[in-house]
Amino acid sequence: MKKTLVILCLLVFARYSAAAVVIDRIVAVVGRDVITWSELYKSMEFEFSDKIAGLSPAEKKAVLERFQNQYLEKMIDLRVQLNEARKMNINVTESEVNRSIAMIRKKYGLNEKEFIKAIEAQGLTYDEYKERIYEQILASKAVNLAVASKIIVTDEDIDAYLKENKGSSAEGYRLRQIFLVKRSPEDNKRILQKVKVIMEHLKKGEPFDTVALRYSEGPNASRGGDLGFIKKEDLAP
C-alpha cells in the first residue's frame, strides 16, 4: 500500500511538473548572445506599456505580434552595439546610471518609491530596469564614439553652414500621422470604416500615438506615427 502511494505521488508530481514547464525558444543569435522569445515579449510589453494599457488581451496580443519583427531588429541592433562597446572597452559607471534614472524620475515627477512601483507595475524589477539603462548608455557611447571617429568638421564647414542658414527660423512642428494603405480599387469601404473607428477613438480623447500604434499601416506606426520635427519653412504652403 505504501509503495502504491509513493508511486501515485510521483506520478502526480510528474504531471504537475510537466504542466508547469514553459517552453521558450531562441528567436535570434548575435555573436555568442541569444535572444529568446520570452526576452523579446517582456521587452515589448515594457516598451509599449503606455500604449497597450487598457487594451483587451486580444488587442494587446495583436499589437505586440504586429511589431515583433521590427522590435526584434531593434534588440539585435542593441546587442551588436553592446558587443562593439565591450570590444572598445567602454565603461559605464554606477553614477552615470543613477543620474540617468534621476532625470527620468524628474521628468515624470515621481519620488523613488513611486518610480520603483511604476516600473514593477510594467513587469520589471528595479535591478532589471537599471540594467536596461546601463545597456542604453553603453550602446549610446559606442555609437557616439564610432560616429565621432569618422566625422571631421572643419571651421570652413561651420562657416558655410552658418552662412547658408543665416536668418532661418528654428520654428517648427512635431508631426504624427495615421497612414492607411489602399490595396485595391475595392478597398475604399474598408478604409472608410477604419477611418470612422479611428475618429471615434480620437474624439474620446485617446492619445494620437496610441491610436496610430493600433491602426496605422505606415512604416512609422511602431513609433506612434511620429514623423519627427519639421521646420516651418520645409512644410508645404
Domains, the chain: 38-148 (1.10.4030.10), 173-229 (3.10.50.40)
User: What angle do helix axes 112-121 and 94-108 make, rounded to 10 degrees?
Assistant: 90
pLDDT in tens, 44-73: 888 877 777 778 888 888 888 888 888 888
The alpha carbon dihedral of 169, 233, 221, 202 has a sign of positive
Q: What is the pTM of this model?
A: 0.53
pLDDT of res. 154: 66
Please give the pLDDT value at position 151.
53
Q: Which residues of the chain have pLDDT under 50?
A: 1-22
Angle at the Cα of 42 (from 72 to 116), degrees rounded to 5? Answer: 130
- CA–CA gap between residue 68 and residue 28 (Å, rounded): 12
Three cell numbers, residue 99? 543620474
**What is the distance between the alpha carbons of residues 147 and 186, in angstroms, rounded to a whole number?**
48
Terminal CA-to-CA distance of the chain, rounded, Å?
90
Averaged pLDDT of the chain: 76
Element (H, E) at 61: helix 57-87
CB 221 within 8 A of CB 212: yes
What is the rounded distance in angstroms from the CA atom of residue 197 to the CA atom of residue 191?
A: 10
H or E segment and range at residue 132: helix 126-150
Residue 65, pLDDT score: 84
Do residues 37 and 27 touch, judged by C-beta distance below 8 A? yes
Residue carrying C-alpha cell 512642428:
173
